[in-house]
Amino acid sequence: MPESAIALYHQHYVEKDFERIDMFRLLVDRFGTRTALYPGSFVHVSPSLVIPSVTYVDSDRRCPSFFADPAIQAMVEERREYPEQPDIRFIAGDYATTIPDDVGPFDLLISQWAGPVSQVCKRWLRAGGILLANDSHVDASLAQVDPDYRLVAVLERRSGGRHLL
């Protein structure tokens, strides 16, 4: 029996205390983020709980049915922290080759565990937009030496939650 979309999300994010809603909330509060592009997202739909319009891109075979499941839309609608209806879009495929040229620009580009997102997808980030990158696939390091980016904050996790420095 196939795993339900809600169960898949819970298994990978809720049960592991890895939704990271506080991190996305910090970005909304500090930078006014309203739109985001999340290449390599898998089923990490948490950004849509605080960001009204998010486009997700992933090649995992489970993602198309996950994002098409009405239960996911309903969960986001129930838990969202903004007044408008969520705009959740999903693009199936490799982010390096499948994102159409006519999407965006976005306020936020999310790079978490998916390779060189900062390099491949920066054309979809609006001027003055924010790149959220960790260094698990060296992406934060790549962005650090890229003249198209400048460091504006560091996110630190301490007791009591995450903080922008």
Residue in 5, 25, 85, 21 with CA at minimum distance from that of residue 53 = 85
Residue 109: both structure tokens together: 């580009």
Q: Where are the alpha helices (DSSP H) in 21-158?
A: 21-31, 63-68, 70-79, 95-98, 117-120, 139-144
| Inter-residue contact 111 to 133 (CB < 8 Å) | yes
Residues paired with 132 in a beta bridge: 110
Tell whether the model's pLDDT for residue 91 goes beyond 70: yes
pLDDT value, residue 1? 37
Model-level pTM? 0.91
The CA-based dihedral angle spanning residues 155, 158, 159, 162, taken in that order and rounded to the nearest 10 degrees: 0
Contact partners, residue 20, CB within 8 Å, separation at least 6? 46, 162
On the question of pLDDT at 2 being above 60, the answer is no
Give the pLDDT score at 164: 64
Token pair recorded at residue 10? 């819970």
Contact present, 94 and 116 (Cβ < 8 Å): no
What residue segments make up the domains of the chain, in order of their start? 5-164
1-15, 85-99, 114-128, 132-146: the lowest-pLDDT one: 1-15
pLDDT, tens digit, 9 for 90 and up, residues 32-76? 999 999 999 999 999 999 999 999 999 999 999 999 999 999 999
Residues in the chain: 165
pLDDT score at 119: 93
Three-state SS at 128? strand
Describe the strand order of the beta sheet including 106-111 as a list of residue ranges.
87-92, 53-58, 35-39, 106-111, 125-133
The class that CATH gives domain 5-164 is alpha beta
